[in-house]
Copies of this chain bind each other. A is one copy, B any other.
Amino acid sequence: MDRAWESRKAWLAALSAPVPEGVNNPLEVAAFETETYLDAARTGRSVRFVPYPAMKESYEICRQGNDFQIKGGQPGVLYGAYALIRALQAGEEIPVGVQKPYYPLRMLNCWDNMDGTIERGYAGRSIWFEQGRFDYDPARIRQLGRMLASVGINVLCLNNVNVHQPAQHLTDDLLPEVERFAAILRPFGVRLMLSIDFSQPLQQGLPTADPEDERVAAWWRQRAKEVWRAVPDLAGFLVKADSEHRPGPNAYGRTHAQGANMLARAVKPFGGVLVWRAFVYNCMQDWRDTKTDRPRAAYDLYRPMDGQFDDNVILQIKYGPFDFQVREPVSPLLYAMPKTRLAIEFQLAQEYTGHQIDLYAMPPMWREIMDQTGKQRVEAIAAVSNLGRDDNWTGHPFAALNLFAFGLFAWNPDADPERVIRLWCQNTYDLPAEEREKLVSVLLRSRAIYEKYTAPLGLCWMVRPDGHYGPSPYGYEFQAWGTYNRADCRGVGVDRTAGGTGYADQYPPEIRDRYADSKTCPDELLLFFHRLPYDFVMRDERTLIQRIYDDHFEGAEAAEEMQEALRGLPLPPEDRQEALTRMEMQVRNAREWRDVINTFFHRFSGIDDKKGRRIYD
């Protein structure tokens, strides 16, 4: 069995000894981790644990002379142990007072298929599936549990939301395997979740999957009973229904509330939640149809259902109304469901954000999103995983930052992006402060730079439809996905104000007003909300077209600056090589984006760059 991954510990560089087989619970893991860490660091210090079950996930760290005391529940003490190690490793202050996660459900959604592929995976094949079955190294799953626990992630959804055969059998024949897997993660405070297929009863002998048919409800109750008998602490089911050709309640003329509640009632006796994804839109749109506007879809569908969902249903909403684009406004649905339990969904997998080739540190984006949304609007948080079987776990060694940071944001949505990025650097690399700050700076700027060369002023979907890497500004234009920029010789963009598709009206009035007026709309969303001529004059007196040119020249140049900065960093050799190889690809990609986007708009507008830089014909 290949064990090269063992030496690649991401931000757990300081934890050299593997967690041994046979640890039974979070307290044992906590004791092992702190003891080994403090011994190795030759601190002469020790940690005393004070289990306090009622504290559950919370912990409190106190100094006791030279030593530490961690009081907490299970897995609270474990979170305390990792927080202590993280702080010591970074030379940061130990957190004072009781620490409690803001969101009780901090979920990682893995889009792993049982054939071993990962949908939108950029770090190799599945860590636990291969050729239609479970296939993993238990030591690697323990290491995974440790990574998740170290940043407080407490739910792992094992399989792709698009449930392909034989993953339907995770809830029946394969349950003993699921439990074996769950048992490995349990001492790390990580519970499993399973993606289910709404049509499962149909596939297994019932004549219908109609959620209002009592036979279907009974079938799911029985299924849930067997699932929780096998895996008593399963967190719940995750469902993608009536979306991108997945089956769902609409086939039977039922609402999503009816569909979700039927399932929620089946899992309720066992304390399970039913997570229902709100990513539903018409993926067979006719491009000629300018009335239908994909960003409207989720709000139009779900808003009328607010209040109809059972209390163990969680509606999981992507942060933007499209699909994990570099720049979207926050989904209006997040403001519109006060009587529904909501989760917000992020995507660590860099599907549209550089495939874990280009640097894209997400914390600044999450900060903006959470600031706009208000953390209290949702009560759970999920992210699509960026993990895979690559030795370094995330393809690009720096992409691990996003998993690390997601955990910290889920615990504390007020987290400061720069601090989180620095903490990751401190825990991952042993760099002199000056060098470390260079890396912090590169990572901190990386998202803004990626945005500059890929996503002009909130125009989404300029990416290649095949694979979602690299530019193709007209690639989606005549397709059925509802993703159009409608560039022509006069202008570009879709009018989403009341005079256009009306999407902006889905927001609360003060937000709507800001977006709906091209004078107050933030620059970075200007072309999301407005259709504008190329000579539209922006607040800074540049024309729209000049701003697009400037951004693309600057973005590609900034990628080269990042490359220059990285070249000088004394990283461990493997990470250095991986990072520089990918940086080389990123610089090429950035130039390609620059030239394709500039040429595209130059061809349509016929307007030259004022600064006379090279735009190809």
Residues in chain A within 8 A of chain B (CB atoms):
287-288, 290, 465-466, 471-475, 477-478, 486-490, 592, 595-596, 599, 602-606, 616-617
Contacts and interface: CB of A to CB of B under 8 A. Distances in A.
B478 A471 contact: yes
Among A290, A475, A486, A605, the one with the most B-chain Cβ atoms within 10 Å of its Cβ is A475
Contacts of A592: 478
Contacts of A477: 474
A595 B477 CA distance: 12
Nearest to A487: B603
B472 A603 contact: no
A474 B596 CA distance: 12
Contact of A489 (B290, B465, B486, B603): B603
Given A471-B478, A474-B474, A488 B595 contact: no
Nearest to A478: B596
Contacts of A466: 465-466
Given A471-B478, A478-B592, 10 more contacts: A290-B617, A473-B474, A478-B596, A486-B603, A488-B603, A489-B604, A489-B605, A489-B606, A490-B606, A604-B604
A605 B488 CA distance: 8
Contacts of A595: 288
Contacts of A474: 473-475, 477
Contacts of A287: 596, 616
Contacts of A489: 489, 603-606
A363 to B, nearest CB: 32
Nearest to A614: B288
Contacts of A617: 290, 486, 488
Contacts of A288: 595, 616
7 contacts: A287-B596, A288-B616, A471-B478, A474-B474, A488-B606, A603-B604, A604-B604
A587 B504 CA distance: 37
* Copies of this chain in its oligomeric complex: 2
Contacts of A487: 603
A486 B595 CA distance: 14
A153 B465 CA distance: 41
A561 B478 CA distance: 25
A488 B604 contact: yes
A288 to B, nearest CB: 5
A195 to B, nearest CB: 27
A474 B489 CA distance: 15
Contacts of A473: 474
A475 B473 CA distance: 9
A605 to B, nearest CB: 7
A602 B604 CA distance: 11
Contacts of A488: 602-604, 606, 617
Nearest to A597: B478
Contacts of A602: 488
A478 B472 contact: yes
* 4 nearest A-B pairs in the assembled complex, by CB-CB distance: A488-B603, A474-B474, A489-B489, A288-B616
A442 to B, nearest CB: 28
Nearest to A596: B478
A473 B288 CA distance: 16
A616 B490 CA distance: 15
A181 to B, nearest CB: 32
Among A287, A477, A486, A596, the one with the most B-chain Cβ atoms within 10 Å of its Cβ is A477
A592 B287 CA distance: 10
Among A487, A489, A606, the one with the most B-chain Cβ atoms within 10 Å of its Cβ is A489
A467 to B, nearest CB: 10
A473 B472 CA distance: 12
Nearest to A289: B616
Contacts of A616: 287-288
A472 B479 CA distance: 9
Nearest to A488: B603
Nearest to A606: B489
A472 B466 CA distance: 13
A592 B478 CA distance: 9
Contacts of A604: 488-489, 603-604
A290 B616 CA distance: 9
Contacts of A599: 478
Nearest to A470: B478
A466 B616 CA distance: 25
Contacts of A603: 486-489, 604
A617 B493 CA distance: 12
Contacts of A606: 488-490
Contacts of A465: 466
